[in-house]
């Protein structure tokens, strides 16, 4: 798992991305399409057309890291992709939601376990 420092934001690029892109291609997408700085330490997550492959781009302060994960079954849950003129093409999620996403769990509405109301 990626060691996510506190204060880091996680950005999902809505829509699908060409998964043949590597470090430079994805960093260029972050800069030109998402209008963010790929070197600021935030995580940028991209999903392929089939939905079973994601890539996470992250600059750790020393260099660019590229993390990829493919699900053997199912698809990664992704935000709707209704492109509109001038609309933001990214969605921010919490590092905890990223953990759900990487496990293939629906990060939008995870089910919490029951917690007792009182001791004894």
CA distance 58 to 2: 9
Beta-bridged to residue 60, according to DSSP, are none
Q: What is the pLDDT of residues 2-24, one digit of tens each?
A: 677 788 999 999 888 999 999 99
pTM given for the model: 0.83
The tokens describing 98, both together, are 């990223």
Q: What is the pLDDT of residues 13-71, one digit of tens each?
A: 988 899 999 999 999 999 999 999 999 999 999 999 999 999 999 998 899 999 999 99
Domain range list for the chain: 10-72+87-102
- H and E: helices and strands count for the chain: 2, 5
Beta strands in 3-79 (DSSP E): 10-13, 43-47, 53-59, 64-70
pLDDT tops 70 at residue 85:
no
């Amino acid at each position: 798992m990626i060691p996510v420092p506190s204060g880091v934001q996680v950005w999902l690029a809505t829509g699908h991305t060409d998964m043949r892109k590597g470090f430079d291609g994805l960093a260029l997408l972050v800069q030109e399409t998402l209008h963010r700085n790929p070197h600021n330490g935030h995580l940028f997550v991209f999903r392929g057309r089939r939905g079973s492959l994601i890539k996470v781009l992250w600059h750790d302060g020393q260099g660019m890291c590229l993390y990829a994960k493919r699900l053997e079954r199912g698809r990664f849950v992704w935000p709707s992709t209704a492109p509109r003129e001038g609309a933001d093409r990214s969605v921010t999620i919490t590092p905890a939601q990223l953990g759900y996403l990487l496990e293939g769990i629906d990060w939008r509405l995870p089910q919490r376990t029951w917690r007792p109301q009182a001791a004894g």
